[in-house]
Structure 1
Amino acid sequence: MAALNTLKRLLYPVTLLTLVALLSIGLSILAIYKGLTLESPAIIYPIVVVPITLFILCLYVVDRFLVHQMNYFLLMLAELLLLGGGYLLYSYSSSSADIHIATDEDYIFVLYDTDENSLDNFSKKGLFGKEWLVSGNIVHLNPSLISRNDIRILPPDTWMSIHEEGGKYFYKGDSIPYIYKLRNRQANEYERTQQVYIDSLLALALLR
């Protein structure tokens, strides 16, 4: 009976944070399970989810105090505004401009060499995100986008591991910044990461 009363005090009256806290606990359990059972990249799941859950549980402690100190409907309204604002802030801060590459080639070049407004090629995705679907392995972007950390170059889903490097290629008196992505585990992989080989591919790419 004591355990039941304790559980009742922890959960009743139910607020929005009650539901969010329970959901976050469930997601944390799932993230920990995936992190322990799947391959090494999956360890990122609990690293990201668990701290967020701990933060939500701290808010829930405050919620349990306030639910007995103030009007229930005012608390629900405050939590609704808090959660809505938090969701918008998170969506904005985590938004990205994704370039999805569809190609049968095993390498990709992103060349910052066009005078066009590259952002015109993107379409809206979600609240704040953008995406651009590219058929081919050469992408031309405006040099002004070099410092944009929110632009992601996403190779085909079949690429399990990737070699990536960037640099500048001197062509007809211009210095062209580039990003080179190579699908790993290909024939002559080491040779294809050497600068001489990359330069030869760049020369061909700029002739297209």
Structure 2
Amino acid sequence: MSITASSPLRAWRWRRTLGLALLVLFHALPWLQWDGRQALLLDLNARRFDLFAWTLWPDDIGVLLGLLAVMAVGLALLTHLAGRVWCGHACPQTLWTRAFDGIAQALARVLQAKLARPATQLAWLLLSLWTGITFVGLFSPIRELVTGAFDGAWSGWETFWVLFYAGATWGNAGFLREQVCRSLCPFARMQPLLTDPHTPRMLYDPR
């Protein structure tokens, strides 16, 4: 009985740890340095993609497409062999929704109800804004981007995309939540094509 009771608890702790690690990794990626430059930078203006030790130029587009194809095939194979592992543990929609829930629960424990709600919304907005900056920082040098936030040096496109991804994060993780998976996610529509009778599936205990 003790093993049965503790197993879901260990699995839940493992899942939270993995989710936190993936969130930290995402937000840390633009800040990584390699040989004196940003390690991961898809600089569209300079037509130069820096991927750690690699530097890809426009005539290397075949290599980039090959990497994308390998990742797509890997995701399809993972889904075929292990089921909804991506959706349940690594999908950005899952990670940020879980992070938003954790913020709301933590603030509800330490603040009164009338203060917890506005504090939660503010915390969500701050996390969403930092997420937007981080994502744009993969396409524009992150150090210059953060510095520009304080001295008003952002270009119109940088401002638009930071606010766009911040708004998308806040709306998807804070309000649409599972509706994104049910109605908007194309991968969820493709999953039945990637499974067979031997693929692990989610089952719900009727109790």
Same fold (TM over 0.5): no
Higher helix share: 2
Q: TM-score, normalised by structure 1?
A: 0.23
Q: TM-score, normalised by structure 2?
A: 0.23
The structure with the larger Rg is 1
Higher strand share: 1
